[in-house]
Structure formats: C-alpha cells, structure tokens
C-alpha cells in the first residue's frame, strides 16, 4: 500500500516565526500531536514541531516565575527555537512499510509527506499505521482467527488458502512471519463462513501446529 492511501491531507501548518502559544492552541483545538513547519516565503517544509517540544519549551509548574513573566517569555518564544529542523520525510508514492520502518528505526511518531519539490502535501502518523494494521488483520470483522505453524516451503501458503476456499471459507486476512526455525513459518489467518471444525479440516494437511484458534 502507498502512503497517499493512509496519510492525512487536511494539513495544519505553522511557520518558523509562529509563537509557541499559538502552535499549542492549534494542537489543542485540532487534537494534533505534530505540526509541519513551513517557510513563509518558499512554502517548503523546513521543520516539524511536536506536542512534546512545546511542553518542554514551556516553564515548569515549579518555576518561580509569576504568570505575567511566563506570559511575557512565551510571547517571545517562536517555533523555530524548538522545532526539529530538516525532519525525515516520506512521499505520497512511497510504501507504507518503508515509512513505518523509518519511524520505528528513528523513534519518531510521524513523517511529513512532501512532493518532489519539497512542498508539504500531508502527514502520516503512528495512528494512521495502527488503523491500517487493524484493517489488514480484519479486526472489525467477525470470523475465526488462527495462528498456525506451517512448513517454510514454496507454494505452501497458496495451497493452504486454496483448500480453505475449496471448503467454502472466506479469507478475510492472511499473513506470514518467520518461525522459530528456518524450516517453518507462522501464519495468521482469519476466515468467515465456516465452523472451527470445517476450518481445521480444511487446513490439517498443511500445518505443523495450531498455536492459537479463536472466534472473534
């Protein structure tokens, strides 16, 4: 799947000279955790600011400053002082899994999406990835969900899926992960329109072990 299928296009942005309190207000009002920072003149992405950045920029509740001094300090503090410059990015035609890997490897919660010229066109966040994860596993649909250990052999997954459908099962989702040995893999499959017994009968000649089986 490509990034443009899951990214948020309704983009809220700030500029380097935006006052921190204004950025905080946008985040509160729109329920956001990140804001791309765009140059006022070139309109290109120059940074990103997170909710955490703005919290750390604010005086601690234990500060000895009075409310007037805090307000005066914050009114002078701009986004460019706290933003992450030249952030990691992705493009609308990039693969979702590549963006997810980039986020995990760099311990970041989002990636701005830019076009080839560097203009922001959207943003993809951890929440977007989680929603896709839910959809890929068919979590919202009723059915039988099984975790199986299968032989790591060419065509084995195709044969298993074919036998499920031959027994009138409807495959909602299916995926594989490396097993505990090079000779096996873990398959997670969710099906509907069949009983547990019918499902087990359809797969019995293709599996090493049923690790988990449940109705959801």
Residue 50: pLDDT band with limits 50, 70, 90: very high
Range of the domain at 65: 3-134
- CATH code of the domain covering residue 60: 3.10.580.10
Do 91 and 195 fall within a single domain? Answer: no
> What's residue 175's pLDDT?
93
Do 126 and 158 fall within a single domain? Answer: no
- CATH code of the domain covering residue 176: 3.30.70.260
Do 101 and 41 fall within a single domain? Answer: yes
Do 148 and 110 fall within a single domain? Answer: no
Half-sphere exposure of 3 (CA within 13 A, CB side): 26
Do 125 and 168 fall within a single domain? Answer: no
Do 58 and 97 fall within a single domain? Answer: yes
For all residues of the chain together, what is the average pLDDT?
A: 91
Residue ending a domain, among 134, 165, 194, is 134
State whether residue 92 is helix, strand or coil.
Answer: coil
Do 112 and 174 fall within a single domain? Answer: no
Domain count for the chain: 2
Helix residue ranges, H only, the chain: 20-30, 51-57, 67-76, 96-105, 126-136, 156-166, 196-203
CA 83, chain centre distance (Å): 22
Examine the pLDDT at 191 and tell me if it is beyond 60: yes
Examine the pLDDT at 3 and tell me if it is beyond 80: yes
Do 106 and 14 fall within a single domain? Answer: yes
Q: Mean pLDDT across the stretch 166-189?
A: 95
Do 73 and 11 fall within a single domain? Answer: yes
> What's residue 85's pLDDT?
95
């Amino acid at each position: 799947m490509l990034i443009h299928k899951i990214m948020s296009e309704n983009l809220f942005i700030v500029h380097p000279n935006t006052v921190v309190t204004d950025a905080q207000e946008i985040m509160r009002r729109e329920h956001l955790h990140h804001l791309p920072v765009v140059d006022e003149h070139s309109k290109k992405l120059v940074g990103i600011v997170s909710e955490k950045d703005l919290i750390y920029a604010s005086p601690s509740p234990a500060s000895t400053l009075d409310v007037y001094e805090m307000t005066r300090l914050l009114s002078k503090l701009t986004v460019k002082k706290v933003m992450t410059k030249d952030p990691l990015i992705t493009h609308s035609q990039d693969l979702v899994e590549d963006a997810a890997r980039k986020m995990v490897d760099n311990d970041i919660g989002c990636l701005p999406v830019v076009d080839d010229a560097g203009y922001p066109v959207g943003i993809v966040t951890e929440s977007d990835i989680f929603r896709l994860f839910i959809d890929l596993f068919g979590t919202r649909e009723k059915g039988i969900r099984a975790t199986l250990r299968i032989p790591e052999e060419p065509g084995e997954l195709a044969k298993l899926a074919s036998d499920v459908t031959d027994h009138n099962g409807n495959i909602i989702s299916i995926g594989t992960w490396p097993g505990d040995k090079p000779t096996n893999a873990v398959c997670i499959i969710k099906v509907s329109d069949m009983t547990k017994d019918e499902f087990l009968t359809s797969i019995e000649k293709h599996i090493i072990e049923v690790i988990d089986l449940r109705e959801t």
